[in-house]
Amino acid sequence: MRSLVQFLVQYGGVGLFFVLEAVCLYLVVNYNQQQKEIWLNSSNIISGTILNFRSDISQYYNLSDFADSLAADNARLKARLNNAQFVQTILMDSTKDVEKQQQFTYISARIVNRTIHLHNNTFTIDRGRKHGIEPHMGVIDSNPGGGIVGIVTNVSNNYSVVMALLHQEIKIPAAIRRNQYHGFLSWQPSNPTRINLIDVPKHGEIRRRDTVETSTYSALFPAGIPVGIVDTFWQDPGSNFHTISAKLINDLGNVQYVYVVNNLMKGEIVKLEEEASGE
Amino acid sequence: MNSSVIKHGIRFVLLVLAQILIFKSIDLDTNGFSYFTIFIYPVFILLLPIRTPTVFVVLLGFLLGLTVDVFYDSLGVHAGASVFSAFIRSTILHLLEPRGGYEVNASPTKSNYGINFFFKYAAIFMFFHIVVYFSLEIFTPVYFNEIFIRTGFSFILSILFIIIYQYLFNPKE
C-alpha cells in the first residue's frame, strides 16, 4: 500500500496531468459561450469530414447498384425515343392523325462473361426469363454512340447467353445510312473489331466512311442504330453483290452494359411471315 | 514543515486576491480587444518547494487555476493553463539545475539561486502558461495573430510584475 502511494506520488504526475487537462477542456467547452461555439463548430467540421469520407466510400460500394438503376432508367427513356415507336399514321380526308404505338422496350443488363477471340463468340448477361428476356431478342450496346452486341440464344431464370456479333452464324439485316442499300451483317473469324456487310446490291454506290446502321428490315433491332464505319469494299468475281468490310463502332471487348431489345410486334410479324410462306 | 504549508496557503490566498482584485481591473481594452492579461497568481506554483512531487504541483495548479477561473468567469481556462505549466515545472527546474544540485526543501526563489536563475525559470514557465492560456481562451488557430500579440504583451508585463514581486518581498520559500 505504501509502495503504491509512493509510486503514485512519483509517477502519478503524468496521469493526473492528462486527467486534469481533460477536465479543464471539458469545463472550457461547457461553461464558456465562445469556446463552446467554436468547439461545436469545429467538431461539426471534423465529424462532417468523417461522415463525408464515409459516404464517399459507401457511394463507391454502391456504385454498381447506382449504375444498374441508371441503366434501367436509360432503358425506360430509350423506349420513348422515336425509333422505338411504331408510327400508325392514318390519312383521312385532309387531317393527318399521327399516332404512335410502343414498338420497342429495353431491358438493361450487364455482361458477366464473354469471349471474343473464338470462332463463335458468346456473351453472358445477368438478366433472364425472370426479367422478361426471351430467345431471339436483340442486344445493343449502352454506349450512346451506338453499336449492337448480338442476339439472345439461351435463357435461364437469371441469365441469358447472347450470340455475339462475332459469331459465324450471325446474320442481321443492316443498311448503308446514306442511301439505305440493305445487306446482312456477317462475321469472319479472326478480327473482333471488324464486321462484313454482305449481299449489298452491286449498283449501290458505296463510299468509305459511310455509316452502317441497323435496318428497318430487322425485327430484332430498332432501325438506325450505327453499327460500323465502312472501311473497304469489293465485289467477288461473278457475284452481283458488294461485300463491305466495316470497322465496328463499339469495342465488344470492353462493353459493360447492354440493353436487350424487346420488340412488342415481333410476334405479329413472325406469325404473318410464317402464314405467307406456308401458303 | 507546517509553517511552510501555512505560508504557501497564505500566499495562495493573497495571490488569488491580488489577481482578481487588482490585476483583473488593469486592462487596456480597445474596441473589445484586450491586449494583455497580467498573470501574478502563477507565482504560487513557481515558488513551491523544488522537491514537491509533480502530482501535488499539478493538483495545486488545478485548484489555483480553478479558483481564479471562478472569478474570471472563464471556467477551465486558467485551470488548463495552470495544470500545464505546473506539469512542466519539474522539467524546467531540471533543465536549469545548478551544478551543485538543489538544496533539500528549498524553493526556487531569487534569494536562493539569484536573479539570473529566477528570471530564466520564470520566463520559461510563464511563456508556456500564457501560450496555453490564450490558446484555450481564443480556442482557434484562426486567430493566430491575436494569440501572438496578446501572448507577447501579457508575457512581458507578467514577468515584470513577477520580478517586482521577488524584489518587493524577497521570499525565501
Place of cell 471556467: B75
pLDDT at residue number B161: 92
pLDDT at residue number A279: 67
Tens-place pLDDT, residues A28-54 = 888 888 788 777 777 777 777 777 787
Q: State residue A229 phi and psi, 5-degree precision.
A: -115, 130
One digit per residue, the tens of pLDDT, for chain B of length 173 reads: 578 889 899 999 999 999 988 888 887 666 666 778 889 999 999 999 988 888 989 999 999 999 998 888 888 899 999 999 999 999 999 998 888 888 888 888 888 888 999 999 999 999 999 999 988 888 877 778 877 888 898 999 999 999 999 999 888 87
Domains of chain B: 2-169 (1.10.1760)
Please report how many Cα atoms fall inside a 13 Å half-sphere around the Cα of residue A34, on the Cβ side. Answer: 10
Give the model's confidence band at A213: pLDDT under 50 very low, under 70 low, under 90 confident, else very high.
very high
- Stretch A239-266: mean pLDDT: 88
What does the alpha-carbon distance between residue A16 and residue B59 come to, in Å, rounded to a whole number? 8
Q: B87 to chain A, minimum CA–CA distance in Å?
A: 6
Mutation for B interface: A7, A18, A20, A30, most B CBs within 10 A: A20
Q: Which three cell numbers stand for residue B49?
A: 518547494
pLDDT at residue number A90: 60
- Are A270 and A219 in contact, with CB atoms under 8 Å apart? yes
3 state DSSP class of A113: strand
Domain boundaries, chain A: 2-61, 105-278
- Are A162 and A138 in contact, with CB atoms under 8 Å apart? no
pLDDT reading at A201 higher than 60: yes
What does the alpha-carbon distance between residue B47 and residue A90 come to, in Å, rounded to a whole number? 107
The CATH architecture one would assign to domain A105-278 is Beta Barrel (2.40)
Whole-number mean pLDDT of chain A? 84
Question: Following DSSP, what letter does each residue of A195-255 receive, concatenated?
Answer: EEEEEEETTS---TTPEEEE-TT-SSS-TT-EEEEEEEEEE-TT-SEEEEEEEESS-TTS-
Could you report the predicted ipTM of this complex, rounded to two decimals? 0.86
Instruction: Enumerate chain A positions whose Cβ falls within 8 A of a Cβ in B.
Output: 8-10, 12-14, 16-17, 20-21, 23-32, 34-35, 38-39, 42
Is the full-model pTM beyond 0.80?
no
What does the alpha-carbon distance between residue A98 and residue B50 come to, in Å, rounded to a whole number? 102
> How far are the Cα atoms of A163, A243, B22, B150 from residue B144, in angstroms, in the given order?
69, 78, 28, 10
